[in-house]
Structure 1
Amino acid sequence: MECATHTRGTVKMHADYIERSYGVPGIIYELSGDKWPPKMRVSGTRVTHKRPRTRPRSEDIDYVVKVRSTKQWKAIDKVWHCPTGDRTKHEIVGRSKNGDRTFLSSDRSFYAPGERHNSKRAVVCGDCGLLVFQLGKEACLVAGAETASNLCSVSASEVALVVLTQAHRRHNVKNDEADGLVARLVERITVLKPGGADGGY
């Protein structure tokens, strides 16, 4: 019992030192073999969404195209696939909380080293856009960084690795992969923010 207590104390002291010296918040959870603590997860990101009971009918699609989301629908090419969730235009037609049919897309900036300002814009489905926001917010909470300036710290390919795609329904998330991604985002945000390991550039 004393040995276990001593080990936990040693791990905590080591974690505190690394956190202070290298700016790695939450490292205690890595050193102790645990995943990021649940309280650091943004709840909406990790909720399991069941498959829809029914698919939209042709008249539902027509309503979305001609009435509800005409501008958004026309703005996206016919052969478009979400680059992170790999869904077609028809597959992202879903339902709102009120039961209405919806079509949501999101024009977002993604982390893209080598591109101008290390970012690149892409149109993704609304669910992927929300996931990007939630993962970025989650990482910022852990890193103690401003959310607004760090929401493009994740790349499109990284988001694609954690998405469990569902047609006509909110995406689910591969939690283990998402935990690893959040850890990488924390490191990236810590390095890129002013005063970070890269000297603030």
Structure 2
Amino acid sequence: MGTVLGLRKLAECKNPAGTKSEEDLRCLLQRAQDEDEVQTDAEEPADLPAHAVRRFPPAPGTGAPHVAPVPAAEGDRRNDLTADVLWPIDEFVGHLDSGRYEHVVAMLDFAGGQAPAIEAAAAIRECSSRGLTEATDTLLRKVASRPGDFVLAVVGHLMDAGNFPEARTLAQIRGGNQAA
């Protein structure tokens, strides 16, 4: 998993707005694998307990760790917090239940067609978790029609959150759009 995340970060750093050639992607993949090998080969100090040498990845875009690097045994109260972006699913369901379909469509259009990748992923995740199959499918199709780098970013956010079925479906839809 570290390789995938490393590859995504390298790709974003190398060319945030353009497309990548196959050779560029191969080079980035090799760099990511090399970095993973260097990290796993590094020896940890023998006199420290295992929980004291854990590495914490930075939260997206902040450089700050998702959780404080303090062992839970020492009383860190922030380990239960998540850095997830919330999508207004309760508002969405309220519009849906009240028959305000123009608002439902507007929220789906924005989340799938204009929102940043992390917000689009949050919308997909929330609709899926509530069993809103049609809304989830609509979001996946709208996101799949956006540029390839954006779709990859959404897939990455879904995978980071453990939403592997939605990530796989989005990749399959995008692959089907490319073949057509």
User: Do the structures match in fold with TM over 0.5?
Assistant: no
Comparing both chains, which one has the higher relative contact order based on Cα–Cα distances under 8 Å and sequence gaps of 6 or more?
Answer: 1
Higher strand fraction (1 or 2): 1
Higher helix fraction (1 or 2): 2
Give the TM-score, by structure 2 length: 0.24
Larger Rg: 1
